[in-house]
Structure 1
């Protein structure tokens, strides 16, 4: 069952169940828009109606962030585990490697895009890399980029354009694609070695956000969304209790 947090319906599937669901969708020729949502994304959706429509219109919203699990518990609901976007990307790439799926990478700087492509080619040589394009394109160039993706017919389209741009891009064009379309945030920078991911212990302790803040202190204003999110969830819980 979905767990509704501040108007966003999160999947309560485990990582394994999520991967199995997406494999079936790809094999059946369906299109699935996946949003890997953390508290920052939920709060962005509350401030931006267009972004909210894009997120809520997704086919699958997975809990990428320990704050989402805490929010669910505050509401008396259970989400079994975090389904981190970076980890889901790798799980899907492992399937692409085995099944010879077609993959397209969109987003990040030209350098990070190329670096991410090379890293995935080394790790998953069985996948078929049908195209890639950096994220530095304007509205007048968007149609040409979409046409390239459409012609490439990827089973997996990873979009690292940042929030809210990546979800808005997918929402506008997913009717022209088939397969999994997933916003992947800063994953290309990590794959390219430009940004280090938090060590496993930090991830297990739910402190990946703090590790990222240490690396990128300019993000501190965005991190304020976490306490705002938790306060909004508490208010939702009080409202539920009054019903």
Structure 2
């Protein structure tokens, strides 16, 4: 797999369809893969947290965020297409629907987790939701949870705990998990449950989903501060190479 390094984070350069095909092949071969859907916020967390950076160094990182694509263009890196978490989940669930794959849903609130599972069962009846658990559990419950996941033997494990908690959790238990494809998907369960609406298609085409989310959820403004910091860091790297 070819990679493009953006501010120290190595991204897969595969386009969306090629990424889906690659992950399907990995799942069928039983090739265990930790997928991280990374946007500028994720990159900036990695710059400030060596432990998080080491997790990304071992993961299959895809560019979730148009800012990553723009940065790649500025830095002359061979990365040209977003691979968003919500679309990746949909594509893999379509494959699960066709192949009869087993899926485990971990994370979000109890209600959101339940509604997301109901939505997936309705839209992808050929897939098997073999287990689910919300993200509210104690450290003492983690081993029982790992045992439950392994007993269900899913082909796909979607972990929706938010960044960076989900990535740290996956990395912590990686040696125990037997699932081929494990993906940290942030707030995708909220979208599936209908508690958070995705930006309209026009906003998506204009690459303004981040602004739509900010207008809908003003409380996100602190998180959005990562964007100008990311742009500044990219410019410094670009100018530093001249």
Same fold (TM over 0.5): yes
Check the 8 A contact 2:35/2:61 in 1, yes or no: yes
Report the Cα distance in structure 1 between the residues aligned to 2:56 and 2:66, rounded to whole angstroms: 19
Shift of 1:113: 0.2
Question: What is the match of residue 211 of structure 1?
Answer: 212
1:164-186: CA deviations, max 9, x gaps? Answer: 11011111122322311000100
Contact 2:108–2:161 (Cα < 8 Å) also in 1: yes
Write out aligned runs for 1:16-165 (5 A): 16-58=17-59, 60-165=60-165
Q: Deviations over 1:88-110 (max 9, x none)?
A: 00000000000000000000000
Give the gaps of 5 or more residues in structure 1: none
Paired residue for 1:231?
Answer: 232
Indicate yes or no: 2:209 matched with 1:189.
no
**Residue segments in structure 2 that go unaligned for 5+ positions in a row:** none
Deviation at 1:13, TM superposition (A): 0.6
TM-score in terms of structure 1 length: 0.96
> When the two structures are aligned, how many residues end up with a matched partner?
240
Q: Determine helix, strand or coil for the equivalent of 2:53.
A: helix
Tell me by how many angstroms 1:144 deviates. 1.3
> For each residue in 1:32-79, what CA deviation from the matched residue of structure 2 results, as whole angstroms up to 9, or x when unmatched?
100000000000111222222222221x11100000011111101232
